[in-house]
């Protein structure tokens, strides 16, 4: 009777003889940084899409409704500023005067166009 060799364990399965190493503080910090970056990109692009949609909607309103056009453009600019402010908040950055000016400038781009 021949003895069969033990089958090799697939690498993607957990090996009880070699447990995973514990995450270090640096690993956790890197993971949190990536999570914050992904979240701020998702929040920023979602709110900017809303902002641009409001501005595009203003272009399709009849010219006799000028107040509605201006209102939608102002709302689009306000949402753009909120998108930049939300990205700063997710990254836990304080809103200094320089950053506030940047948020106003970048956030108002959809309304200006």
Residue pLDDT, tens place only, 19-35 = 778 889 999 999 999 99
Q: Are 79 and 54 in contact (CB under 8 A)?
A: yes
Task: Give the per-residue pLDDT at 66.
Answer: 92
Show the tokens assigned to 87: 């990205």
pLDDT in tens, 36-90: 999 999 999 999 899 999 999 999 999 899 999 999 999 998 998 888 888 888 9
Is the separation of the CB atoms in 64 and 87 below 8 Å?
A: no
* Contact (CB, 8 A) for 90 and 47: no
Q: Give the pLDDT score at 106.
A: 81
The set of residues, in sequence order, having a beta carbon less than 8 Å from that of 25 and lying 6+ positions away, is none
pLDDT given at position 39: 95
| pTM for the full predicted model | 0.70
């Amino acid at each position: 009777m021949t003895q069969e060799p033990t089958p090799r364990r697939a690498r993607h399965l957990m090996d009880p003889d070699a447990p995973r190493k514990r995450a270090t503080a640096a690993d956790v910090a890197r993971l949190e940084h990536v999570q914050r970056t992904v979240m701020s990109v998702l929040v920023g692009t979602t709110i900017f899409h809303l902002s641009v949609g409001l501005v595009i909607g203003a272009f399709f309103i009849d010219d006799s409704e000028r107040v509605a056009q201006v209102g939608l453009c102002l709302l689009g600019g306000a949402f753009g500023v909120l998108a930049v402010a939300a990205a700063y908040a997710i990254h836990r950055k304080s809103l200094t005067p320089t950053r506030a000016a940047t948020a106003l400038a970048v956030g108002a781009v959809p309304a200006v166009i």
